[in-house]
Every structure is written in C-alpha cells, then in structure tokens.
Amino acid sequence: MSTGSISSPSTSSSTTRLTSIVSHLSDARPKVVICRHLGPAMPLLQDRKDIEVVLWPEDRSCERSWLLDNIRGAAGVLVLLGDKVNEELLEAAGPNLRVVSTMSVGYEHIDLPLMARRKIRVGYTPDVLTEADLSVMLALMAGRNDGAAYSLVRNGDWAKPKFAWSPFTFCGPQLSATPSSPTRTVGFLGFGRIAQATLARLIPFGITHCLYAGSPSSRPDTARDAALQATHKLKVLERVDADRLARESDVLFVLTPGGTETYHLVDAAFLRKMKPMSVLINTSRGSVVDSDALATALREKWIWGAGLDVVEGEPLITEDHPLVKEPQCVMVPHIGSATFQTRLDMATRAINNLYGGLFGEDMPAELGRQ
C-alpha cells in the first residue's frame, strides 16, 4: 500500500526521455518504509507530498520477507522493537539508506556499530515517563493484594458464602505512612529519569527515606542528591550498595537498563535479604530479575509481593508460568508506555526523527550523537 507512486520513466524520444530522467532524479521523492500503521500519527506521513511512503498493510508485526522486498532503494525506514536492523536488512536496502528510526525506548534490535560504519543515522524515542505512573500503580496493587481481590470480584466469588470477610482479609503493607507507622523507605535499583519521576510521585504518600544503587560505572552525584533530598523534604536520600538496598527497602523499584551488566542482579541471594513485608516492582527489563528466584521468594514468603510489567521470556508467558501462578504477583503485559498520549508522542517523535535523517536536519532524539 503506497500513498504515492514513483513517476513512470518515459519511453518516447531521447530528449523527452532525458527530460524525464532529469525530472525523475530531481523530483525523486525519497522512499520511506513504515513497518507498522501508526494510528492517529499517520497523517504526519500521509500528508507529506515530498516523500514516498510504503506502509506494511496489516495490523500485525511486519513480515521479514515483505520488509526485505520493499526496503530496496529506500532512504529511510521506521521500525519497531521486533524489526531487526542488521547486515541483511542493509544489504537489501542498498546504498540509499541514510536513516533508521525506531518507535521504541530500547534499541537492542539495531546493530549500532554497523550503523556507525555505514554512516546511517539512528533515531529513537527515549522520553517516556509513563513507566513512573505504572510503577506507582503496581506498588499500590502489589501491596493491596490486588490480584486476589480483583479475581474475587471478576469470578463472582464476592457474593458467595465461601468468601468470609474478616478484619484482616486482603490486607497487605500500606504504601502511605501513618501516625502509628510514620516511616517508609523506597529503594531504586537504577536511579535515572524514570526512577526520579517515580520518587516524586510517591512523596505525598509520606515517603521518608530514599535509597538507590547506581551503575558501578557511574559517579556519585552528591550535589544532585542533596538537591533532590531538599526538594522532597526527605530524611534520607542516599546512594548505597545492593546489600543495603535489599535489606532496608519497603518498596523496591527495578529501573535499570537491560543487558549483560544487569542480568539477574535481583537473584535469590538479593531476595533473601529483603524484608518479609516488602514488595518488588520491575517496570524496566525482565532480564534483571531471576523469575525462578522471585517465584520462590513469593511462595516461601521471603517478601510480601511483586508487581511486574516486564518478565524474562515475555511475551511467551503461559498460564502455568511460576509467576503467573503466584497469587501475590501482579503481572501486566509490558504496558509501561501504553497510553494514547505517550504512544502518540512516540510515533510523532519517530516520524520527526525520520524526517531529520532524510533531509539532513537535526533529529529530535538521535543515538550515538552527543
């Protein structure tokens, strides 16, 4: 499905033919391949007359064979997390390709060294803060025994005699501080923008202490920490090691990048150090948390509960997955950025990155350019 078409080369006299070829070259609109319909952002592509848009026509992930066929001669491609951008794709595209734009925060699917060698610019969409909303939601749900409570209603068991309410039914640890329980410690494994946005959202719940563990390669930023502590009127805001983070956090948020450096940072040894009434929230990358260890921790009550937006091996998570079966584990299907506003912002950003690369202009968010 194309919204325009390449002008057909003339076949008449040589003059006309030359004119036609010159016209074709000068008028030639760069071809861009769009690997997924972008919903309400599509007019930003379809209303442009200076490009040729080739759009994967179905409402599912783009087929590789279609992409390899259609990318031939393209100047740009807009991809999603499932579309591998590798040697094979570049060979199929040919030398015209000058920009790859991904509508995603992650870029594990793009071979960045290869892009650098070929001088192909790469755009992505990092400015997503909605994981902070989701982190707060999951912290509230995991503490509230929400899985069991929600299922009770959905299954129609609220009305049944087998549901016997008692004063401590469905109780869990409370996120908000109270006069009789006045301190709360939140911990962050990784303390970037989303962690700080999550912290800000938790302050009115009465959070008093904030601990975080940063990447070993990052340097402590005491001035930033002092400013944050003052802004939020916290008793403590401190960079600590993983051991203390595990031991002292009431609610612990995993908000690190993925990859080998953070693989299974939260393992059985880490979970065993956590408080029995603590909850663990992961809205970053599944690989950071050892799923089997977490299932054991929940089953044996090393910790109170967990809230996960991401999990190792997703989306191949079946109903007999050990974490799906754990009643104190709340799991949602990687919906961190799933709001109309954010996804529209991401699609718009991805399209503007594409245009920046196509026309040799600035890209709103370019990888590998500082």
Judging by beta carbons within 10 Å of its beta carbon (0-12, 13-18, 19+), is residue 334 exposed, middle or buried? middle
What distance in Å separates the CA atoms of residue 243 and residue 340, rounded to the nearest whole number? Answer: 39
- Name the residue among 183, 132, 101, 140 with its Cα closest to residue 349: 101
Tokens of 285: 């990358």
Q: Does 330 bind a second copy (CB under 8 A)?
A: yes
DSSP H/E element including 340: helix 340-358
- Per CB under 8 A, contacts with a second copy among 121-180 are 129-130, 132-134, 136-137, 140-141, 143-147, 149-156, 158-159, 163-176, 178-180
Q: Does 45 bind a second copy (CB under 8 A)?
A: no
Report, in Å, the least distance between residue 163 CB and a second copy. Answer: 7
- Per CB under 8 A, contacts with a second copy among 180-239 are 180-181, 200-201, 203-205
Report, in Å, the least distance between residue 92 CB and a second copy. Answer: 24
User: In this structure, are strands 236-239 and 251-254 parallel, antiparallel, or unpaired?
Assistant: unpaired
Q: Does 285 bind a second copy (CB under 8 A)?
A: no
What is the CB neighbour count within 10 angstroms for residue 197? 18
Given the complex with a second copy, which of 56 and 355 has the nearer CB atom?
Answer: 56
Q: Does 345 bind a second copy (CB under 8 A)?
A: yes
Strands, sheet with 279-282, edge to edge from the N-terminal-most edge strand: 236-239, 209-213, 185-189, 251-254, 279-282, 305-308, 329-331
Which residues are catalytically annotated? 334
Q: Does 340 bind a second copy (CB under 8 A)?
A: yes
Q: Does 269 bind a second copy (CB under 8 A)?
A: no
The residue within the footprint of a second copy, chosen from 303, 331, 358, 365 (CB under 8 A), is 331
Q: Does 78 bind a second copy (CB under 8 A)?
A: no
Buried/exposed 311-320: b ≥16 CB within 10 Å, e otherwise: bbeeeebeee
Q: Which amino acid is at 282?
A: N
What distance in Å separates the CA atoms of residue 243 and residue 118, rounded to the nearest whole number? Answer: 44
Report, in Å, the least distance between residue 37 CB and a second copy. Answer: 8
Given the complex with a second copy, which of 39 and 368 has the nearer CB atom?
Answer: 39
Q: If binding means CB under 8 A, how many residues of this protein chain bind a second copy?
A: 83
Residues written for the chain:
370
Q: How many angstroms separate the Cα of 288 from the Cα of each of 102, 135, 369?
A: 23, 16, 27
Report, in Å, the least distance between residue 343 CB and a second copy. Answer: 6
The residue within the footprint of a second copy, chosen from 9, 57, 259, 333 (CB under 8 A), is 333
Given the complex with a second copy, which of 120 and 279 has the nearer CB atom?
Answer: 279
Report, in Å, the least distance between residue 199 CB and a second copy. Answer: 9
- Per CB under 8 A, contacts with a second copy among 94-123 are 103
The residue within the footprint of a second copy, chosen from 335, 359, 364, 366 (CB under 8 A), is 335
